[in-house]
Amino acid sequence: MPEVSEFRTIHQIIKKAKQNLSQNLWDYVVGGTASETTLKRNRASIDSKALLPKILNDVSEIDTRGSILGQELEIPVILAPIGSLQNLVTGGGATAAIAAEGAGIMSIASSACHPDLEDIAAASKSPKIYQLYVRGDADWTDLKVQRAIDAGYTAFCLTVDSAVISRRERDISKDVTPTSKPISGYGDRIFQQSLNWNDVKRIKDNFNIPLIIKGINRADDALKAIDHGIEVVYVSNHGGRQLDHGVGSLDLLPSVVKAVGGNAEIIVDGGFYRGTDIVKAIIMGANAVGIGRLEAWSLAAGGAPALVQCLNILKWEISETLSLCGVRSFDEFDSSFVVPSDVVYPPNTLSAFPLLNLEDDGY
């Protein structure tokens, strides 16, 4: 394992992850579905917006903190749920939770990763969210909710953009074996396919835990979520890994923010890799930003210490961005700070890191 001091930039972390991962696992992390159009649009949606700073303001003290569900975050970032995380790092979801505590943020544990939800909950003192892919009937699902409550999770999350498993041609064309498999055949997957608003209502009616809906793209669905009492609307296209030819996440955000109207908190993910990316999302109305690939790369590069280092670099980038925008905290931003602009680099998974030089980046 490298010394954390080896990593002074995020692109160094990604380079180390590439060295440590098999081609199978590298493709799993960087790839998207089919033509990978949605994946590229995620970056395009971020890069097509520029920051417009103010000047001659006192920025001698900077506050990078954010919050979600009443939990203070050192930066407004959450570790997104990643399936099969145990294939990238020893300890899987528990290791991610340890890093979240080290960086002062929150993590989301995927039901498709190991260890069990109780072990992840016990791994650190940081607040955690449990995310579920539904693989059983109502009683099966309700038991998962109750276990999450008993284990002390801050909130429960349903992922709703994965009714079927997408065709990820990067993997298929290279005969890569998927790292995530259904628990036991089609009978389990049918429950995710049949998931609907009645299930959301049942959970809200029967359990006292904040509920997050992950995978909202449309304003009308955001309104339905509000009508069902959802505490957090999670704007996401699964990192471009589910529906091909979807809209970039940051382009989805404004209509959802308008529809929610402050009646719920908002998380967004999809291609956010830089401090400037995080700042744009918060200015445009998100309460927090989920990072998935950054989490995966960092854990593959050097476990929890490397992920903490990555988050510390993000914090520095965010602090620098606030300073150079002429504000002392996120509260001082308004919509005038983000304006349309041209995309400089052709968008792809790694276009946020133009200094990164990989012999085989898979493209």
Q: For residue 172, with 0-12 CB atoms within 10 Å meaning exposed, 13-18 middle and 19 or more buried, which class applies?
A: exposed
110 known member of a binding site: yes
41 known member of a binding site: no
224 known member of a binding site: no
- Is 238 among the catalytic positions? yes
The tokens for 353 are: 């890191």
Alpha carbons 53 and 337: distance in angstroms, whole number: 6
Indicate which residue of 11, 114, 228, 238 is catalytic.
238
Alpha carbons 289 and 270: distance in angstroms, whole number: 9
Alpha carbons 97 and 107: distance in angstroms, whole number: 6
124 known member of a binding site: no
363 known member of a binding site: no
- Pick the closest to residue 348 from 43, 140, 119, 14 (CA basis): 43
Alpha carbons 330 and 142: distance in angstroms, whole number: 38
292 known member of a binding site: yes
238 known member of a binding site: yes
90 known member of a binding site: no
82 known member of a binding site: yes
214 known member of a binding site: yes
- Pick the closest to residue 23 from 133, 171, 148 (CA basis): 171
What backbone torsions phi and psi does residue 209 show, to the nearest 5 degrees? -150, 135
43 known member of a binding site: no
Please identify every residue annotated as catalytic. 238
Per the annotation, where are the binding residues for glyoxylate?
28, 133, 168, 238, 241
Per the annotation, where are the binding residues for FMN?
81-83, 110, 131, 159, 214, 236, 292-293
Per the annotation, where are the binding residues?
28, 81-83, 110, 131, 133, 159, 168, 214, 236, 238, 241, 292-293
